């Protein structure tokens, strides 16, 4: 016990101290990169708090996305991870990350690349793979990314959850990520809530989503305009909607197109103009959804029923799924223009 705590202390001490804010600004020319939304967390108590919320990471295999100057990276090393894969797009941070790798005796694997295209299905040893129905695997994803990357990335990873691909070939890999506070609230909003939106359904039909805590914008350097929410995602063994991701995405997007209006307005966009009225009525009736409910008042089981019935309609008409309301509008507009000019 005594020997272990000495070893832990030594490995903590071996890490070079985090540079001061002034040093960071000088080293990484922070001001110059503000347009890239690089907001750093330099307070080790906060980075430790994020890492603690990810669970017990002793001997864990972790992918950190966007490590930047390495605040969270240090907390992860101090938590005793076995293997830390960091994916960073910006070259300027690679030397600092190499320094952390040396200090942690080779625990940090650095990928200089873009997380939006990086393939994670072979990133960790195969023996870590668990069955989907088993406990969560000892593989974690963690990160504080710019908001313009974290939202498209979570949509991409949700699709991977649905298909059990990418980071989810290891099983129900947990993710602990930061988002703009309002986005974090949308992800976790319940039926009828002010923030209930497309993201609420997309996240919650596949994952148990927890809004862990909020970090004030003032804790970041430079300070962003907004506060930040730390959100944890644990994939569900049984998704709440059992239809292909793209189909769920299409239905949910259409329904929320007019968030404040009765839901039949959005549902109607799923169907070509000539059959719109009839099919909208049919879908809402078979799914037992009141057309005068607002989208944010619909529960997960309403969305499940809407997706299941829409699937039946698509099976009856193979052209239906490829119908795109926006495309129809675009063609109409083109037609009008060519009519005017001829
Ligand atoms: C908001 S900063 C946070 C840095 C660090 N994690 C922290 O908390 O201090 C986001 C980091 O993600 C990196 N980044 C941005 N887009 C990325 C992408 N597509 N792939 C990998 N890294 C990215 C940026 O270069 C930056 O280092």
Beta bridge pairs of residue 233: 175, 209
User: Does 48 contact ligand 1 (Cβ within 6 A)?
Assistant: no
> CA dist 79 to 109, 155, 187, Å?
16, 28, 28
CATH number for the region 245-338 comes to 1.10.8.100
Cα(71)–Cα(66) distance, integer angstroms:
11
Ligand 1 atom closest to the CA of 153, numbered from 1? 19
| Predicted-assembly ipTM surpassing the 0.85 threshold | yes
Q: Where are the domains of the chain?
A: 10-235, 245-338
Q: Is the CB of residue 215 less than 8 Å from the CB of residue 166?
A: no
Q: Is 66 known as a binding-site position?
A: yes
Q: Is 114 known as a binding-site position?
A: yes
Would you write out the chain's pLDDT as a tens digit for each of its 342 residues? Answer: 334 444 444 445 456 665 655 666 566 665 545 656 788 898 889 999 999 999 999 999 999 999 998 999 999 999 999 999 999 999 988 988 998 898 898 999 999 999 999 999 999 999 999 999 999 999 999 999 988 899 999 999 999 999 999 999 999 999 999 999 999 999 999 999 999 999 999 999 999 999 999 999 999 988 888 999 999 999 999 999 999 999 999 999 999 999 899 999 999 999 999 999 999 999 999 999 999 999 999 999 999 999 999 999 999 999 999 999 888 778 777 777 776 776
Q: Please, what is the angle between helix 71-78 and helix 94-103, to 10°?
A: 10
Non-local CB neighbours of 160 within 8 Å, separated by 6+ positions = 166, 167, 168
CATH number for the region 10-235 comes to 3.40.50.150
Q: From ligand 1's centre to the CA of 219, what distance in Å?
A: 16
Q: Is 101 known as a binding-site position?
A: no
User: Does 144 contact ligand 1 (Cβ within 6 A)?
Assistant: yes
């Amino acid at each position: 016990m005594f020997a272990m705590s000495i070893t832990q202390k030594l490995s903590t001490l071996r890490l070079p101290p985090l540079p001061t804010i002034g040093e960071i600004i000088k080293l990484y020319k922070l001001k110059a990169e503000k347009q890239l939304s690089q907001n750093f967390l330099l307070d080790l108590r906060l980075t430790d708090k994020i890492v603690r919320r990810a669970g017990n990471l002793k001997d864990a295999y972790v992918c950190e996305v966007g490590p930047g100057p390495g605040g969270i990276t240090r907390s992860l090393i101090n938590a005793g991870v076995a293997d830390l894969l960091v994916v960073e797009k910006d070259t300027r941070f690679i030397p600092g990350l190499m320094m952390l790798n040396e200090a942690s005796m080779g625990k940090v694997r650095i990928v200089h690349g873009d997380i939006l295209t990086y393939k994670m299905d072979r990133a960790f040893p195969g023996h870590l793979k668990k069955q989907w129905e088993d406990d969560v695997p000892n593989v974690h994803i963690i990160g504080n990314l710019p908001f313009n990357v974290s939202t498209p990335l979570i949509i991409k990873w949700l699709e991977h959850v649905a298909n059990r691909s990418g980071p989810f070939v290891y099983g129900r890999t947990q993710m602990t990520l930061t988002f703009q506070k309002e986005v974090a609230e949308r992800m976790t909003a319940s039926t009828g809530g002010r923030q209930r939106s497309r993201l609420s359904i997309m996240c919650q039909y596949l994952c148990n989503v927890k809004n862990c805590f909020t970090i004030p914008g003032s804790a970041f350097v430079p300070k962003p305009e907004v506060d930040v929410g730390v959100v944890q995602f644990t994939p569900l063994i049984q998704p709440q909607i059992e239809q292909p991701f793209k189909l769920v995405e299409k239905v949910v997007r259409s329904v929320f197109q007019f968030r404040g209006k009765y839901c039949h307005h959005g549902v109607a966009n799923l169907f070509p103009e000539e059959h719109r009225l009839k099919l909208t009525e049919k879908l809402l009736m078979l799914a037992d959804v009141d057309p005068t409910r607002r989208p944010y008042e619909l529960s997960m089981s309403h969305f499940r029923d809407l997706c299941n019935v829409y699937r039946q309609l698509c099976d009856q008409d193979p052209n239906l799924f490829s119908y795109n309301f926006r495309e129809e509008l675009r063609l109409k507009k083109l037609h009008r223009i060519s009519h005017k000019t001829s």
